[in-house]
Amino acid sequence: MIVEDVLCPFCGCLCDDIKVEVEDNQIVSVKRACRLGGSKIRGHGRIEAPLVRKDGELVKATYEEAYDRAAQILLDAKRPLLYGWCSTVCETHKKGILLAEEVRGVIDSTATVCHGPSIIGIEEKGLAGSTLGQIKNRADLIVLWGANPAEAHPRHSQRYSTNSKGKYTEEGRKGRKVIVVDVRATRTSKNADKFLQIKPGTDYEIISALRMILKGKADLMPETVAGVSKGDLEEVAEMMKAARFGSLLFGLGLTHSRGRYKNIDNALSLVADLNTHTKFVVMAMRGHYNVTGFGQVCAWETGFPMAVDLSRGIPYFNPGETAACDILGRREADAMMVVAADPASNFPKEVVRGMADIPVIQIDPFENPTTFLSDVVIPSAVAGVEVEGTAYRMDGLSLRMKKVVDSPYPSDEVIIENILESVRRLRDDN
């Protein structure tokens, strides 16, 4: 059986045209997906059964034992951190937020280690964006800033941006200009008409310089800005102004460097300024396929998109104080639940150290370093392959993920429902 138009549960591109061939509930081939998506959909080794740590070692347990143990950990905690959510569907997010309310925890997503600064930038300025199809149909200039889609979003260029074709962009790449701004040459920069190489941590100054040029104040600027010549910057500004529809796509090069959310803040202003000259939109190149979805669900449920502290029964949002790395880094959490993410690999090791001396619950299909540090491990079905549900693409468009094969494992949503049930039962027992 061939399942058509399957959605890819890997990156924020959320490609929805994948063909998956299934025989006897086994995936036998995956077509149209990139290397990243194909690998994820084809699948690999799984955590076989729930594990619970006893006398220092993880040993096999039943799901019921694991649920109760997880619930007890959460109930005992004064500041439980519920973290992850990027690689699962929105139906799980809803249950996770409800659980966080019930146990009065802090809920945060992987956004706080990727595009969290982008969200804080948006809080300062708003975001002048569009759906990806708008870029495909109209953009004659693509600016990729601190982004390397050739490695991180392999089908982005063909489907949505530099090489895509649409109503006003019939010539595809030939009819477009591409500017890449980065600290190093990459496979992405090789596709550029103009590669602006800058020094790490100087993005803010470069953006301010471009804004100066666009405002006609180039003559008040120094001849070089952070090592880049004014002439080079003027060339970039001219290309931006000359576009009929420009699009600034930015990646972790902006959010992970010195300046962090201020870089985004300034980039958003640059795009707002550009709209006095021509049409320009901006978008964050979100990483995991549904990290955007968590932000959306969390915003409509709590009012805030990430890093929400529900300790006092009210939502309180303040990244820098209430984000996962803040809390773990300062050793403020006394329990952690990780769902569909791997903080042990993706946080700085000094932060991960904070997971070693508190009880950790992991819900995930796959073994990873977070498993090494977990006290309860609950294997789940792979969302988007074995479970259907909602995901939000990097541009905020929501789509329904398909179920392609049956799974012997429960979904993340069901696991959290069960933990929630245990929490309520154990609390009533006391």
Partner 1 sequence: MREIVVKPRREFDIPVEAETISPDVFASLTLKEIEGLEVWEGNRKQVLSDLFSVSGNDSPATVEETRIKLEGNFSRTKRIGEKMTAGEIEVEGSVGMHAGNGMNGGVICVNGDASDWLGREMRGGLITVKGSAGDYVGSGYRGEACGMRGGNIVIEGYAGDYLAEHMCGGTITVAGNVGDFAGSSNRGGTIEIGGDAYLPGAEMVSGSIVVKGKAQVLPSYQSEGVVGLEGMTLKKFSGDLVENGKGNLYAASVEQ
Partner 2 sequence: MIIKGGIVYDPLNGIFGEEMDISIENGKVVEEAENKEEIDAKGLLVMPGGVDAHAHIAGAKVNTGRIMRPDDGRIGIEPKTDLLRPSSGYTVPNCYAMGYRYARLGYTTSFEAATPIIESRHTHEELEEIPIIDKGALTLFGNNWEVLECVRDGDVDKLAAFIAWGLRASRGYGVKVVNPGGGEAWGFGGNVKGLDDPVPDFDVTPREIIRSLMEANEILRLPHSVHLHTNNLGKPGNYETTLETLKAVEGIKASVDRQSLHITHMQFSSYGGSGWADFESKAPEIADYFNKHDQFTMDMGQLIFGSATTMTADAPLEYSNARLLHAKWSNHDIELEESSGVVPLVYGRKMPINAIQWAIGLELALLTESPWKILMTTDHPNGGPFVNYPEVITLLMSQPKRDEEISTLHALVTKRSTLGTIERELDWGEIAVMTRAAPAKVLGLKDKGHLGVGADGDVSVYDLHPDKIDPSKDYKKVKEALSLVKYNIKGGEMVVKDGEIVALPQGRTYWVDASVSEDLAQRVEADLVDKFTKYYSIQKSNYMVQDAYVTRPIVVKAGAI
Partner 3 sequence: MKAIMISGRTLGQGATCEAKTSPEFFKATSFCSLSEEDYSSLDLKEGGNVRVATPFGEVVVSARTDDGLPSGMIFIPMGPWANVLVGPNTGGCGTPQFKGVEADVASTDMLVKDVRELFGDLVEEKRRETS
Of 240-269, binders to partner 3 (CB under 8 A) are 252-253, 255-258, 260-261
390 lies in the site for partner 2, by CB under 8 A: yes
Contacts of 24 (CB under 8 A, 6+ apart): none
The entry of partner 2, partner 1, partner 3, none near residue 314 (CB within 5 to 8 angstroms by kind) is partner 2
What Å distances lie between residue 144 and 184, 190, 263, CA to CA?
13, 12, 14
Tokens of 427: 């609390």
Q: Which of residues 100-139 bind partner 2 (CB under 8 A)?
A: 101, 119, 122-134, 136-138
For partner 1, the binding residues in 294-323 under the rule CB under 8 A are: 310-312, 317-321
CA 364 – CA 277 distance, rounded (Å): 48
Shortest distance in whole angstroms from residue 198 CB to partner 3: 10
In 153-202, which residue ranges form alpha helices assigned H by DSSP? 156-159
| Strands of 290-397, DSSP E | 308-309, 316-317, 335-339, 360-364, 376-379, 389-392
- Quick one: which of 186, 225, 171 has its CA closest to 202? 225
Q: Residue from 6, 97, 120, 383 that binds partner 1 (CB under 8 A)?
A: 120
Q: Which does 334 bind (CB under 5 to 8 A by kind): partner 1, partner 2, partner 3, none?
A: partner 1
Which is closer to partner 3, CB of 151 or CB of 406? 151
- Tell whether residue 197 is a contact of partner 3 (CB under 8 A): yes
215 binds, among partner 3, partner 2, partner 1, none (CB under 5 to 8 A by kind): partner 1
Query: How far, in Å, CA of 151 to CA of 424, rounded?
Result: 45
Residue with Cβ nearer partner 2 (184 or 217): 217
Of 43 and 396, which CB lies nearer to partner 2 in the complex structure?
396
- Distance, CA of 80 to CA of 58 (rounded, Å): 21
Binding residues for partner 1 restricted to 65-84, rule: CB under 8 A: 77-80
Contacts to partner 3 from residues 130-169, by CB under 8 A: 148, 150-152, 154
CA-to-CA dists, residue 178 to 240, 265, 272, 330, angstroms: 10, 22, 20, 43
Site string for partner 3, 63-82 (x = CB under 8 A): --------------------
Closest CA to 178 of 133, 150, 144: 144
The 3-class SS string of 243-261 reads CCEEEEEECHHHHCCCCCH
Regarding beta strands 51-54 and 376-379, do their DSSP bridges make them parallel or antiparallel, or are they unpaired? antiparallel
Binding to partner 1 in span 11-70, by CB under 8 A? none
Per CB under 8 A, the list member of 123, 193, 234, 388 interacting with partner 1 is 123
Structural contact between residues 145 and 181, judged by C-beta atoms closer than 8 angstroms = yes
Q: Which is nearer to partner 3, 329 or 396 (CB)?
A: 329
Q: Is 416 exposed, middle or buried (0-12, 13-18, 19+ CB in 10 A)?
A: buried
301 contact, one of partner 3, partner 1, partner 2, none, CB 5-8 Å limit per kind? partner 2
- Sequential DSSP letters for 371-416: HHT-SEEEE---BTTTB-EEEE-TTS-EEEEPP-S--SSPPHHHHH
User: Is the Cβ of residue 139 or residue 381 nearer to partner 3 in the bound state?
Assistant: 381
What is d(CA 160, CA 347) in angstroms, rounded to the nearest whole number?
30
Which residue, 9 or 253, has its beta carbon nearer to partner 1?
253
Q: How far is the CB of 312 from partner 2 (least distance, A)?
A: 7
Partner whose binding site includes residue 311, from partner 2, partner 3, partner 1, none (CB under 5 to 8 Å by kind):
partner 1
Contact status: 320 vs partner 3 (CB under 8 A): yes
Q: How many CB atoms lie within 10 A of CB 39?
A: 13
Judged by CB under 8 A, how many residues of this single chain contact partner 2?
63
Binding-site ranges for partner 2 (CB under 8 A): 4-5, 7, 16-17, 90, 94, 98, 101, 119, 122-134, 136-138, 159-160, 165-167, 244-245, 272, 275-276, 278-279, 281, 295-297, 299-305, 310, 312-317, 390, 392, 396-400
Binding-site ranges for partner 1 (CB under 8 A): 77-80, 103-105, 120, 123-124, 204-205, 208-209, 211-212, 215, 217, 220-222, 225, 258-259, 262, 266, 269, 273, 310-312, 317-321, 331-332, 334
